């Protein structure tokens, strides 16, 4: 008999909450980079406002995703035994910390809210999320986290 895969502890109707929430902050943080670039090119202040709003929404939903992710991480010891899970969590913690700094940078006035610090922070967060997203997919597709035995991913 096959042993069950590590399971998501925070779930609704069998669907992991972490996986449902994560796309929202990822889109918000990528959108922040896009709107930062648009502001850098056009100097239209509305783009800087969009960046601040996207960062704020991304951070709020990130807090919920972190909570669900931590419940999963500490809810099944087999997840904690996977090295990839630790790297995924640490990378996301760094991206979240940089985003918190970035929201304060974006609260400054005009040009200094985006160029250069806000733009650099946004780019760093997107790069980190690319890596941690890859690792998160590895947890599901390679390690079977949150996938029932016999299900195809």
Q: Domain residue spans in the chain?
A: 26-141
For 55-100, the pLDDT digits (tens) are 999 999 999 999 999 999 999 999 999 999 999 999 999 999 999 9
46-55 pLDDT per residue, tens: 999 999 999 9
In DSSP terms, 16 is beta-bridged to 11
Decide if pLDDT at 109 tops 90: no
Looking at residue 87, its pLDDT comes to: 98
Two tokens at 140? 């599901």
Distance CA 57, CA 98 (A): 15
pLDDT at 1 over 50: no
**Chain segment 11-22, per-residue pLDDT in tens:** 998 889 999 999
129 alpha carbon, distance to own chain's centre: 6
Q: What is the pTM of this model?
A: 0.92
The chain-wide mean pLDDT, for the chain, equals: 93
Interior angle at CA 145, CA 134 and CA 91, nearest 5: 40
| Residue tagged 């250069």 (tokens) | 116
Buried b / exposed e across 24-37, counting CB within 10 Å, b at 16+? bbbebbbbbbebbb
pLDDT at residue 7 in the model: 85
pLDDT at position 30: 98
């Amino acid at each position: 008999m096959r042993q069950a895969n590590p399971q998501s502890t925070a779930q609704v109707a069998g669907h992991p909450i972490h996986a449902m929430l994560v796309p929202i902050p990822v889109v918000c943080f990528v959108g922040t980079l896009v709107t930062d670039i648009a502001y850098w090119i056009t100097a239209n202040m509305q783009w800087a406002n969009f960046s601040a709003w996207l960062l704020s929404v991304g951070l709020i939903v990130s807090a919920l995703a972190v909570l669900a992710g931590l419940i999963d991480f500490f809810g099944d010891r087999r997840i904690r035994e996977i090295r990839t899970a630790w790297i995924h969590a640490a990378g996301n913690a760094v991206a979240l910390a940089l985003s918190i700094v970035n929201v304060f940078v974006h609260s400054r006035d005009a040009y200094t809210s985006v160029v250069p610090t806000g733009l650099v922070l946004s780019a760093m967060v997107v790069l980190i999320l690319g890596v941690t997203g890859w690792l998160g997919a590895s947890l599901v597709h390679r390690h079977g986290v949150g996938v029932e035995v016999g299900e195809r991913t």
